[in-house]
């Protein structure tokens, strides 16, 4: 047996990726599985974005690009000024292999061994592992379904101590909850009383429902841009998960440090993929296609949450953004469902997959064992079929 590093031995594979892959494999094997696993839009990438990438490829855009292409960095800086009220230079933007890579590289650039990072639960699965891979220590800020999974300013003040940073993800994967501008401003006020750096993961910025309003963390106070890293990407907004394009914007010293890391690690994101991203951020068609997808997600999310609430002893917070429902199913712990003794979210997910042929992600993967996550980035028909099956399982 090869002796692997201690660093990698403490990191399990991503459960969201694993469950999605397992559901796909079962489908390929001819099993009729409904997959609520993937946090991945089911739409194709808009045609004008594909065309721009194809054209770049045809025109010989096939070489290393200097870190990320200058025109794309400028387009992202312009987007941040226009949409988010964040005014920075293009040199303060770095394009990476997906939002996931931007976060990974940022933790590598800012953390020393033992550095603490405050992480509100429930949290996206990769934050904890990325923090650990950088030698850091995640410090979990607990929340409850009754409080809509929101942390309070006091929790930040109580936990800050000598911690290095805090991660804010609003709208949230997995809870689908987002802070109001006022709530976020109160968190910002608390942060400003500490020395915390803020990693604001805004990847679900354009998927907002109802009257909810998005604000960027860095825009909440003039003192925040110098200590906030803003993360975003093309995967969710433009249905470009496979293109692997994300970015980070923030203080020049941190961005330059991440760029140094990237110069040894990945050099630059794919040249012609960056041309597609440039079209996404500059073509006037973009707003319309994004809005069409958003409206569809909104319909599905409303429908899925309503159907989940009709299930016996299940509560579900209304998704405000992103594309996840995160119902509390803990009232069913202690029951035997489909032949599986259900004692926690993991065994519930096992019963759902084995007996009902529905793939969901157990909440324990996100640090919240009372809940399960269902992605509604799938058709209405699949949503009804899957929830019918879960209803049958719970009978």
Positions in the binding site for ligand PMP (CB under 6 A):
39, 98-100, 124, 169, 173, 201, 203, 233, 235, 241, 246
Please say which residue, 67 or 100, places its beta carbon nearer to ligand GLU: 100
Please say which residue, 125 or 320, places its beta carbon nearer to ligand GLU: 125
Please say which residue, 209 or 366, places its beta carbon nearer to ligand GLU: 366
- Closest approach, Cβ 342 to ligand PMP, in A, equals 26
Position of minimal CB gap to ligand PMP: 98
- Which residues sit opposite 166 in a β-bridge? 118, 198
- Shortest CA distance to 90 belongs to which of 108, 66, 111? 66
Helix (H) or strand (E) holding 197, with range, is strand 197-201
- Which residues sit opposite 205 in a β-bridge? none
- Closest approach, Cβ 130 to ligand PMP, in A, equals 10
Piece of the chain touching ligand GLU by CB under 6 A; list 9-17, 114-122, 221-229, 340-348: 9-17
Binding mask 124-143 for ligand GLU (x = CB under 6 A): xxx-----------------
Helix (H) or strand (E) holding 262, with range, is helix 252-265
- Closest approach, Cβ 216 to ligand GLU, in A, equals 20
Please say which residue, 173 or 237, places its beta carbon nearer to ligand GLU: 173
Tell me which of ligand GLU, ligand PMP, none is bound by residue 107, counting a contact when its beta carbon lies within the kind-specific cut-off of 5 to 8 angstroms: none
Query: Rounded to 5 degrees, what angle do the CA atoms 103, 106, 108 make?
Result: 110
Tell me which of ligand PMP, ligand GLU, none is bound by residue 138, counting a contact when its beta carbon lies within the kind-specific cut-off of 5 to 8 angstroms: none
Piece of the chain touching ligand GLU by CB under 6 A; list 4-12, 118-126, 136-144, 246-254: 118-126
Tell me which of ligand PMP, ligand GLU, none is bound by residue 125, counting a contact when its beta carbon lies within the kind-specific cut-off of 5 to 8 angstroms: ligand GLU
Respond yes or no on whether the N-terminal peptide bond of residue 289 is cis (omega within 30° of 0): no
**Phi-psi category of 239—alpha, beta or left, where left has phi over 0 and alpha has psi -120 to 50?**
left
CA–CA distances in Å: residue 65 to residues 104, 241, 270 = 21, 21, 8
CA–CA distances in Å: residue 305 to residues 85, 207, 236, 311 = 32, 16, 20, 10
Piece of the chain touching ligand GLU by CB under 6 A; list 35-43, 217-225, 268-276, 293-301: 35-43
Please say which residue, 39 or 120, places its beta carbon nearer to ligand PMP: 39
CA–CA distances in Å: residue 271 to residues 92, 236, 256, 277, 363 = 20, 20, 20, 10, 37
- Contacts of ligand GLU in 171-200 (CB under 6 A): 173
Joined tokens for residue 38: 């993937």
- Closest approach, Cβ 353 to ligand GLU, in A, equals 16
Query: With contact defined as beta carbons under 8 Å apart, do 351 and 393 qualify?
Result: yes
Distance of alpha carbon 38 from alpha carbon 30, whole angstroms: 19
- Closest approach, Cβ 103 to ligand PMP, in A, equals 6
Please say which residue, 272 or 324, places its beta carbon nearer to ligand GLU: 324
CA–CA distances in Å: residue 298 to residues 11, 122, 195 = 34, 22, 38
| Distance between first and last Cα of the chain | 47
Tell me which of ligand PMP, ligand GLU, none is bound by residue 38, counting a contact when its beta carbon lies within the kind-specific cut-off of 5 to 8 angstroms: ligand GLU
Residues in the chain: 395
Distance of alpha carbon 330 from alpha carbon 334, whole angstroms: 9
Contact between 259 and ligand GLU by CB under 6 A: the answer reads no
Query: With contact defined as beta carbons under 8 Å apart, do 91 and 252 qualify?
Result: yes
Please say which residue, 170 or 345, places its beta carbon nearer to ligand PMP: 170
Binding site for ligand GLU (CB under 6 A): 14, 16-17, 38-40, 100, 124-126, 173
């Amino acid at each position: 047996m090869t002796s692997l590093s201690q660093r990698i031995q403490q990191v399990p594979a991503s459960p969201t990726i694993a469950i999605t892959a397992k559901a796909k494999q079962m489908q390929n094997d001819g099993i009729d599985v409904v997959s609520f696993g993937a946090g991945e839009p089911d739409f194709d990438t808009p045609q004008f974005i594909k065309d721009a990438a194809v054209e770049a490829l045809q025109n010989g855009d096939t070489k290393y690009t200097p870190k990320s292409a200058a025109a794309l960095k400028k387009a992202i800086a312009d987007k941040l000024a226009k949409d988010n009220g964040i005014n920075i230079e293009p040199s303060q933007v770095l394009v990476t292999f997906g939002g996931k890579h931007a976060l990974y590289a940022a933790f590598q650039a800012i953390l020393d061994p033992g550095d603490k990072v405050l992480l509100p639960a429930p949290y996206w699965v990769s934050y904890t592992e990325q923090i650990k891979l950088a030698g850091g220590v995640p410090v979990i800020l607990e929340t409850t379904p009754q409080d809509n999974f929101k942390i309070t300013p006091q929790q930040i003040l109580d936990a800050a101590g000598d911690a290095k940073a805090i991660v804010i993800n609003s709208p949230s994967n997995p809870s689908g909850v987002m802070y109001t501008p006022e709530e976020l401003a109160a968190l910002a006020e608390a942060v400003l009383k500490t020395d915390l750096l803020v990693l604001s993961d805004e990847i679900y910025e354009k998927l907002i429902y109802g009257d909810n309003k998005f604000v960027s963390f860095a825009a909440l106070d003039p003192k925040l841009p110098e200590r906030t890293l803003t993360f975003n990407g093309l995967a969710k907004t433009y249905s470009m998960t496979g293109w692997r394009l994300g970015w980070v914007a923030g203080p020049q010293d941190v961005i330059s440090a991440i760029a140094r890391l990237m110069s040894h690690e990945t050099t630059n994101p794919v040249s012609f993929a960056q041309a597609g991203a440039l079209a996404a951020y500059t073509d006037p068609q973009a707003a319309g296609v994004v809005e069409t997808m958003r409206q569809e997600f909104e319909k599905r999310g409303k429908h899925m949450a309503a159907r989940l609430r009709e299930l016996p002893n299940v509560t579900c917070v209304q998704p405000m953004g992103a594309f996840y429902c995160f119902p509390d199913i803990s009232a069913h712990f202690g029951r035997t469902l489909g032949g599986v003794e259900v004692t926690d979210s993991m065994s519930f997910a096992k019963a759902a997959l084995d007996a009902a042929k529905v793939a969901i992600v157990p909440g324990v993967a996100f640090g919240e064992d009372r809940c399960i996550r269902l992605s509604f980035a799938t058709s209405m028909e699949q949503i009804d079929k899957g929830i019918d099956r879960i209803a049958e399982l719970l009978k």
